């Protein structure tokens, strides 16, 4: 499922399980993951006009830092450790399973199973770019990837945040709990 699908999955099962603060944590995790992924992909497309997965072949050896940033973004979107994506999907699946156990609603069980299967399938699609970047040989001559200090700094900060939120998921919860929600 894409990020919005995961958020809606949680929304369908969040009655009594953290509500708005829990939803805000998931939203921010998926926002950071997607922003990092699209920012790095835009950098590649803008600099060397990459528009297919095969065009990424071997570029991880030429420009390691952007390739590492896209690796972390794709691992996070897949929901693997050591990224915030793992925590987000763990929270969603835990909430969904807990709500299913309380209500015995078969639709929630079906959603849980479909979500698990979809996560396994997404491994193939999300990890295709990092695989091409690092494991394949360069198949065509490419231009030079334009690196700016600002962009690299932004990508570095996002990578650190995604890994930090895996190691300290309570820090985002504490930050969100300090916000006063005015409804």
| pLDDT at residue number 53 | 87
pLDDT digits (tens, 9 = 90+) for 72-103: 999 999 999 999 999 888 888 888 898 899 99
Sorted by sequence, the CB contacts under 8 Å of residue 89 that are 6+ apart come out as 6, 79, 119
pTM of the predicted model as reported, rounded to 2 decimal places: 0.83
| pLDDT at residue number 103 | 92
Which residues, given as ranges, of the chain have pLDDT below 70? 1-21, 141, 176-177, 179-183
| pLDDT at residue number 75 | 96
The domain locations on the chain are 3-178
Report how far apart the first and last C-alpha atoms of the chain are (Å, whole number): 30
């Amino acid at each position: 499922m894409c990020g919005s699908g995961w958020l809606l999955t949680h929304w369908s099962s969040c009655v009594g399980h953290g509500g708005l603060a829990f939803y805000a944590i998931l939203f921010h995790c998926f926002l950071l993951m997607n922003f990092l992924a699209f920012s790095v992909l835009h950098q590649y497309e803008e600099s060397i006009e990459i528009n297919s997965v095969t065009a990424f072949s071997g570029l991880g050896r030429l420009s390691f830092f952007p390739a590492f940033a896209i690796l972390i973004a794709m691992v996070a979107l897949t929901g693997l450790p050591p990224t915030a994506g793992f925590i987000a999907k763990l929270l969603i699946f835990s909430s969904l399973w807990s709500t299913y156990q309380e209500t015995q609603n078969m639709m929630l069980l079906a959603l849980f199973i479909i979500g698990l299967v979809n996560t396994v399938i997404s491994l193939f699609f999300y990890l295709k770019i990092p695989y091409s970047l690092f494991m394949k040989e360069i198949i065509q001559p490419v231009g030079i990837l334009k690196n700016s200090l600002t962009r690299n700094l932004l990508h570095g900060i996002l990578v650190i945040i995604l890994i930090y939120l895996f190691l300290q998921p309570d820090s985002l919860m504490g930050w969100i709990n300090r916000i006063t929600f005015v409804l």
